[in-house]
């Protein structure tokens, strides 16, 4: 069965002292058994996070270059992330798609760059409010999914984690209802099964978008929701831990 994964995404937030606080609290806390936990922190804090966080907490990055190495000023390559013992990397977060112009081709290139060095890409998918209102949710989300999966070998497809994040729920305090989220997760799972039955069974599909301690349990109870990608609430260690507990 799919072990739940609770992944925090600090976005462009945090500080050395927040890394220290999380390290101290997480080392003293009892994380629920059978729940995978990850924290995606900004590049400058990856090394400190790896040193301070308990070993069973995966340290992740929020993006990576589509290039291996070389004259790409300001970019960070997957091999560098591996070198810091980073285990996961977000790819195609809606903020990258909209604010940084990453289209499906750019997302695919980054997924491949992550796979090339043995990082687990967490591929984010989601529709805008306009697209939902136009009843295009599944077309958009499945289109984003296929743009990546169609281009990967079957053995590489199995190495991804997915995160469904309705754009209208990110950072807005407006969460998809458990039923709305489950409906899209079930559509994603059905599409995975078309690639391979085992893929549908094995692949984790997280929900993201204003997940908080008070709504996490209901969302996580849905049959096709395998965890959460948590933005705002992952900056407060008590809230983050409470969400981890509700996945246990």
CB of 230 to ligand PGA, least distance (A): 5
Enter the tokens of residue 150: 């169609």
CB of 163 to ligand PGA, least distance (A): 7
Catalytic member of 30, 93, 127, 138: 93
The span from the first CA to the last CA of the chain, in angstroms, equals 14
CB of 231 to ligand PGA, least distance (A): 2
Instruction: State the DSSP code for 213.
Output: H
Residue nearer to ligand PGA on the CB measure, 12 or 71: 12
Query: Is residue 147 within 8 Å of 104, Cβ to Cβ?
Result: yes
Query: Is residue 97 within 8 Å of 170, Cβ to Cβ?
Result: no
Q: Which of residues 108-167 bind ligand PGA (CB under 6 A)?
A: 165
Indicate whether 213 belongs to the interface with ligand PGA (CB under 6 A): no
**Residue from 26, 114, 211, 244 that binds ligand PGA (CB under 6 A)?**
211
Closest CA to 208 of 53, 92, 59, 111: 92
Indicate whether 9 belongs to the interface with ligand PGA (CB under 6 A): yes
Using CB under 6 A as the binding criterion, the count of chain residues that bind ligand PGA stands at 13
HSE at residue 156, side-chain half, CA atoms within 13 A, is 18
CB of 210 to ligand PGA, least distance (A): 4
**Residue from 89, 161, 184, 229 that binds ligand PGA (CB under 6 A)?**
229
Closest CA to 111 of 72, 75, 161, 73: 161
**Residue from 54, 143, 171, 198 that binds ligand PGA (CB under 6 A)?**
171
What are the residues facing 49 on neighbouring strands?
none
What are the residues facing 38 on neighbouring strands?
7, 58
DSSP string covering 115-155, please?
HHTT-EEEEEE---HHHHHTT-HHHHHHHHHHHHHTTS-HH
Enter the tokens of residue 101: 């112009």
CB of 40 to ligand PGA, least distance (A): 8
Residue nearer to ligand PGA on the CB measure, 168 or 195: 168
DSSP string covering 37-65, please?
EEEE--GGGHHHHHHHS-TTEEEEES---
- Asked about 185 being catalytic, the answer comes back as no
Q: How far apart are CA 106 and CA 101, in angstroms?
A: 9
Indicate whether 210 belongs to the interface with ligand PGA (CB under 6 A): yes
CB of 149 to ligand PGA, least distance (A): 21
Indicate whether 100 belongs to the interface with ligand PGA (CB under 6 A): no
Catalytic member of 95, 102, 165, 185: 165
Indicate whether 14 belongs to the interface with ligand PGA (CB under 6 A): no
**Residue from 209, 219, 227, 241 that binds ligand PGA (CB under 6 A)?**
209
Q: Which residues here bind ligand PGA, judged by CB under 6 A?
A: 9, 165, 170-171, 208-211, 229-233
* Catalytically active residues, by annotation: 93, 165
């Amino acid at each position: 069965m799919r072990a739940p994964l609770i992944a925090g995404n600090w976005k462009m937030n945090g500080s050395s002292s927040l890394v220290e606080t999380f390290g101290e609290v997480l080392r003293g806390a009892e994380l629920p058994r059978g729940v995978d936990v990850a924290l995606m922190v900004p590049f400058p804090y990856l090394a400190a996070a790896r040193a301070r966080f308990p070993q069973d907490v995966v340290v992740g990055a929020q993006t990576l270059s589509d290039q291996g190495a070389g004259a790409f000023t300001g970019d960070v390559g997957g091999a560098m992330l591996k070198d810091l013992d980073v285990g996961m990397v977000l790819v195609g977060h809606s903020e990258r798609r909209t604010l940084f112009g990453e289209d499906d081709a750019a997302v695919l290139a980054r997924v491949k760059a992550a796979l090339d060095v043995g990082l687990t890409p967490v591929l984010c998918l989601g529709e805008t409010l306009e697209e939902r209102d136009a009843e295009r949710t599944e077309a958009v989300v499945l289109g984003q999914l296929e743009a990546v999966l169609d281009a990967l070998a079957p053995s590489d497809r199995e190495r991804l984690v997915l995160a469904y994040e309705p754009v209208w729920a990110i950072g807005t305090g407006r969460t998809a209802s458990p039923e709305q989220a489950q409906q899209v997760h079930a559509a994603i799972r059905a599409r995975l099964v078309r690639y391979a039955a085992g893929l549908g069974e094995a692949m984790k599909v997280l929900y993201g978008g204003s997940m908080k301690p008070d709504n996490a349990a209901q969302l996580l109870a849905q049959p096709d929701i395998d965890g959460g990608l948590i933005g705002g609430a992952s900056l407060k260690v008590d809230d983050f831990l409470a969400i981890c507990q509700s996945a246990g």
